Structure 1
Amino acid sequence: MRTRRHSLALLALPDDGLTRRLYALLFEPYPGVRRLFAADVRPQAAMLRTAMQATLEHLGDRDWLSTALGALGAQHAAWGVTEPMYDAFEECMLAAMCELTGEGWTPALAEDWSATFGDVRDLMLAGAARVPPGDGPRA
């Protein structure tokens, strides 16, 4: 946990550097995901950064995490986000973090973040399961 908190400086990069880099890495190997985003991903990158900060600030508050991430998962399901897309997100976010951290990126840090992303994914998918069938992707 301490190693993960140390790497939070990534969220403070100018111009949402971490989250914008994530999208650059995500769209190339997973072009099907691109349709879920506006042409300009800067607003989305800023929202993701804010969501990550809020989630990390509430890591010890299981009720907040369940409620907030469940609602976020339901929203993402309505937009057409599928379970495999969560794995693609994690893969590309870890790659962006590794790239931007450089030599400070360690196997322990990667494992710590992967576990965090797994917990977030599980809570979001629990919320996604509550979305009625047919509430498909946003227009």
Structure 2
Amino acid sequence: MTPEEVELVRSGAEALRPHLPVVAQDFYRRLFAADPALRTMFTSDPVLQQEKFADELDTIVGSIARFDEFLDRTRLLGARHAGYGVRFRHYGEVRAALFGAFAAALGAGWTPEAERAWQRAYDMIAEAMLLGSAPSRPQHTWPR
């Protein structure tokens, strides 16, 4: 991501912050409408889930500019989500629901440039999460 894209994501997240409970509700509504079977992966209280959503979004966006911290955090998040049953195909559904909720909340602030920046950020997040969700492979050493 370019510094300009990082700034667009950071400023977009800042604009979303006061509306995160509504954004989270809208996100889950969109996600479950697209794939009702996903509802079974969310066993915690919806209010608690919305708080987790807001906290995680804030933390990830804040760490994008610090790549090592970002990568560590998102890999762990990916491993945790794999344990919940999240699979590769779910990342596209989440992306569509997330961007729909962001666009609705940001209105005119959801510009083509902002959307591209969020797409790049989401792709980076999803790739790191997928790395974290991959099964561990045994370490091989070369014979000496």
The verdict on a shared fold, with TM-score over 0.5 as the criterion, is: yes
1:36 to 36, 41, 46: 41
1:6-45 matches, cutoff 5 A: 6-8=11-13, 9-13=15-19, 16-38=21-43, 40-45=45-50
Aligned-partner Cα distance in 1 for 2:98–2:11: 16
Q: Which amino acid aligns with 1:89?
A: V
Change (3 A) 1:123 1:40: same
Deviation at 1:70, TM superposition (A): 0.7
RMSD: 1.7
Determine the structure 1 residue equivalent to 2:96.
91
Determine if contact 2:9/2:114 at 8 Å carries over to the other structure: yes
Aligned-partner Cα distance in 2 for 1:63–1:7: 22
TM, length-normalised to structure 2: 0.83
Deviation at 1:100, TM superposition (A): 1.2
1:1-139 matches, cutoff 5 A: 1=5, 2-8=7-13, 9-13=15-19, 16-38=21-43, 40-130=45-135
Identity within the alignment, %: 24
Higher RCO (C-alpha 8 Å, min separation 6): 2
State which structure, 1 or 2, has the greater radius of gyration over its C-alpha atoms: 2
Q: Which amino acid aligns with 2:16?
A: L
Change (3 A) 1:60 1:39: closer
TM, length-normalised to structure 1: 0.86
Determine if contact 1:10/1:100 at 8 Å carries over to the other structure: yes
Q: Which runs of 5+ in 2 are unaligned?
A: 138-144
Determine if contact 2:19/2:105 at 8 Å carries over to the other structure: no
Aligned-partner Cα distance in 2 for 1:72–1:51: 9
Deviation at 1:68, TM superposition (A): 1.1
Q: Which runs of 5+ in 1 are unaligned?
A: 133-139
Deviating runs (4+, > 3 A) in structure 1?
none
